[in-house]
Structure 1
Amino acid sequence: MTTTHTFAKAPSSAPLMLKAALPALPGIGGLPGVKHVGTDAPDVVLERPGVAVDADHLARYHEVCGFGPSDRLPITYPHMAAFGLHMALMTDVAFPFAPMGLVHLRNNITQHKPLTAKDVFDVAVRATNLRPHPKGRLIDILTDVTVDGETVWTENMTLFARGKGGAPEETPAPLEGLEAPSGVVRWKLAGNLGRRYGAVSGDRNPIHLYPVTAKAFGFPSNIAHGMWTKAHALAAIANRTPDAASVDVEFKKPILLPATVVFGARTEGRTTEFGVTGSKKPVTHMVGRVGPLA
């Protein structure tokens, strides 16, 4: 039986970030109430009704991600309203994985029609489809955004948990075989990008903030947020994104900050493929595809 938890406002991100970090601490991570004990996707829905857009927050999101001012919400913006619910879901010990060990591997956003800054919408989040991966397991976090009961926007975040006993994926990955298009546009990313995006998104995961905090989790430096990379890419091709669209990305290699990366895109008909690659080394950071709904 599905359990529903309703939030009147977005869950506070700071306590949730602390809760997310606890399972990774030696001597604490195995304690009852801290250790994740779930064996499947929890049968729970987290919802937040009546979400209104804050104009100042939207302006700051436009600025950090590179979108031009508009009354229409960027296609990635509803993710902001869902982030606290994502964290509340993943930090519950019934969730099968500790959040700090997860990798955001793939992301799909489907927009049935654009939202505007005046829209008031409802958000619902759930986990589903725990399944094998050659190097561990995958799980999906689904988000539904509705206006007056009509679904206008959905997101599927596919998270990867590394582990033993993996197996081939049962279905091909959505972007299997897609190579990043060549490009000439260079993005020069400052070392504080993670802190700037974290201040807007609420995602202050230590791996994004400072070199020293990222090194504690095995990274040589702090890394750019995957959802910033997706948003900045879509800002670059906003004039090629249909009003009703589906956007898939796969995150390949993290972008270590500071960095200079290359963005490329190619369009055939109404479908655009895009990617972000290293400026010096032949490494692919992200590939993506956006096209109209069928």
Structure 2
Amino acid sequence: MPRTLTLTSTPPLLPLMLRGALTSPLKRHPRPDAQAPRTQLLVPGTHITPSHLTAYERVCGFATGRPELPVTYPHVLGFPLAMRLMSERAFPLPLLGLVHTSIDITQQQDLSPTDTYELAVSVRELRPHRRGTEAVVGTELRTGDGDGAVWQSTSTYLARHRTSGATTEPRPEAPAPEPLPPLAHWDLSGDLGRRYAAASGDRNPIHLHPLTARAFGFPRAIAHGMWTVARCLAEFGARGPVHVQAQFKAPVLLPGKVTYAAKGPSFELRAGQGQRIHLTGRVTPLTG
């Protein structure tokens, strides 16, 4: 069982990012038997700051003043705790270059912005991948009355590095699915990454400016993956007891044009009028 470290508040993100950047060169070649740190970070008495919530709702396209939290908002609350764990020396993967590849969210009920919650984050496991190593990060939002998690997510982050071959076998190529019908076209401004960073606190340099993005191999700044899924879920209208699955396929360059498409429980984000897929997802209401 992981040990639990209780904090009085979530830590500021910028110092954690700087620490992660400084320690990343020491972690470029993780050992095949590297283990995840056995620590769960816990913040009881977590409150929602109205101005922070409103800024997040506006940049992601959610209606402001709603009686419930957006389904992706707890991820923003827990992200500083995930960053603290992944920036520590005990975490064997380099923070710089980690790629968010998927998120799976289960929300048991509508979450009131006026309630008090308990926030818990842990790195559940490291697992081999054909392109490197994946870190699996779990986040839970719990009610103060001890009823357990009302919101939980599992995120996977990929650290690319050379592998010995003893990794997950590549999946066979599946036939390309039929494109979903387009429902909206969005022009994304060049400052979108900075606006989302101001609302979320995630100031990864790949999202902020073309110059800082080029240092990491991108021709321009790219949109935050969690902005893309939040914007799609705002358009989808996801709320209530729900299960959300999303996979990040390709970066969205800024500025740029994207197409939101959806049919039934499925949605996707594509490049402009083309067929390149940036994001796929599925929304399943929970019953019973």
Shift in Å, 1:177: 6.9
The Cα offsets for residues 251-270 of structure 1, whole Å up to 9 and x where unpaired, read as 00000100010000001xxx
1:65 equivalent in alignment to 2:63: no
1:280 shift after superposition: 4.5
Relative to 1, partners in 2 of residues 1:30 and 1:167: Cα closer, same or farther, differing over 3 Å? Answer: closer
- The letter for the 2-side match of 1:206 is P
Q: Distance in 1 between matches of 2:30 and 2:16?
A: 14
- Against the structure 1 CA distance between its residues 128 and 193, is the aligned structure 2 distance closer, same or farther, given a 3 Å change threshold? same
Q: Which runs of 5+ in 1 are unaligned?
A: none
Partner of residue 71, structure 2: 75
Match of 1:214 in 2: 213
Letter in 1 for 2:268: G
* Whole-angstrom distance in 2 between the partners of 1:99 and 1:57: 25
Instruction: Give, in angstroms, the shift of residue 237 of structure 1.
Output: 1.0
Once the two structures are TM-superposed, the CA of residue 179 in structure 1 deviates from its matched residue by 6.0
**How far apart, CA to CA, are the structure 2 residues paired with 1:179 and 1:7?**
47
Change in 2 beyond 3 A, CA 1:180/1:58: farther
Unaligned runs of 5+ residues in structure 2 are none
Deviates more, 1:34-43 or 1:186-195: 34-43
How far apart are the structure 2 equivalents of 1:124 and 1:177?
38
1:196 aligns with 2:195: yes
Relative to structure 1, the CA distance from residue 9 to residue 163 in structure 2 (aligned partners, 3 Å threshold; closer, same or farther) is same
Other-structure match for 2:37: 42
Q: Cα distance 1:211–1:243, how it changes in 2: closer, same or farther (>3 A)?
A: same
Q: Return the offset for 1:61.
A: 1.0
Cα 1:85–1:248 change in 2 (3 A) is: same
Residues 43-83 of structure 1, C-alpha deviations (whole Å, 9 max, x = no match): 11011111111111111111000001202100011112101
8 Å Cα contact 2:183-2:262 kept in structure 1: no
Aligned length: 281
2:261 corresponding residue in structure 1: 264
Q: TM-score if structure 2 supplies the norm length?
A: 0.90
Counterpart of 1:286 in structure 2 is 279
The worse-fitting range, judged by mean Cα deviation, of 5-14 and 160-169 is 160-169
- Pairing 1:1-294 to 2, within 5 Å after superposition: 2-24=2-24, 29-30=25-26, 39-69=34-64, 70-147=66-143, 148-149=145-146, 150-165=148-163, 166=165, 169=168, 181-238=180-237, 241=238, 243-267=240-264, 272-293=265-286
Task: Report the RMSD for the aligned CA atoms in angstroms.
Answer: 2.5
Once structures 1 and 2 are overlaid, which stretch shifts more, 178-187 or 75-84?
178-187
Q: Which runs of 4+ in 1 moved over 3 A?
A: 34-38, 166-173, 175-180
Cα distance in 2, alignment partners of residues 123 and 210 from structure 1:
32
Corresponding residue SS for 1:253: coil
User: With structure 1 as the length reference, what TM-score do the two structures score?
Assistant: 0.89
SS for the counterpart of 1:97 is coil
Residues in 2 aligned to 1:115 and 1:237: alpha-carbon distance in whole angstroms:
18
Question: 1:96, 1:205 → 2: CA distance?
Answer: 20
